[in-house]
């Protein structure tokens, strides 16, 4: 694949959106990170999911806005054993820093 020009790279990033979410509730020890990774990969998103020290889960994802909206809807439900009490969300400017979606520790 040929390298993108600076203009093409800027256009690609601007067509993207970024979701930063912190999911609260019973979301650790219930496969929430792997549930999120599977969904994000199906939706062709990039970024990561990780457990936080306070028992919540952080999700940072970039991709097309409709796919991010779908991910957020699924995060509100979570896997079968999870209980989602609250999700804090932010929509900052995307950076294009990710190549794939991964689980971080």
| Residues taking part in catalysis | 33, 51
Cα separation, 61 vs 72, in Å, equals: 10
In the chain, what is the straight-line distance between the N-terminal and C-terminal CA atoms, in Å? 32
Half-sphere CA count of 100, side-chain side, radius 13 A? 5
H-run or E-run covering 25: strand 17-26
Do the beta carbons of residue 101 and residue 18 sit within 8 Å? no
């Amino acid at each position: 694949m040929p390298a993108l020009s600076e203009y093409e790279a800027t256009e690609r990033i601007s067509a993207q959106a970024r979701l930063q979410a912190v999911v609260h509730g019973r979301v650790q020890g219930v496969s929430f990170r792997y549930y999120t990774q599977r969904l994000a990969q199906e939706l062709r998103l990039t970024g990561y999911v990780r457990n936080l020290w306070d028992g919540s889960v952080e999700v940072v994802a970039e991709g097309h806005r409709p796919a991010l909206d779908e991910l957020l809807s699924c995060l509100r439900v979570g896997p079968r054993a999870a209980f989602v009490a609250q999700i804090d969300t932010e929509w900052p400017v995307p950076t294009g820093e990710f190549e794939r979606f991964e689980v971080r520790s």
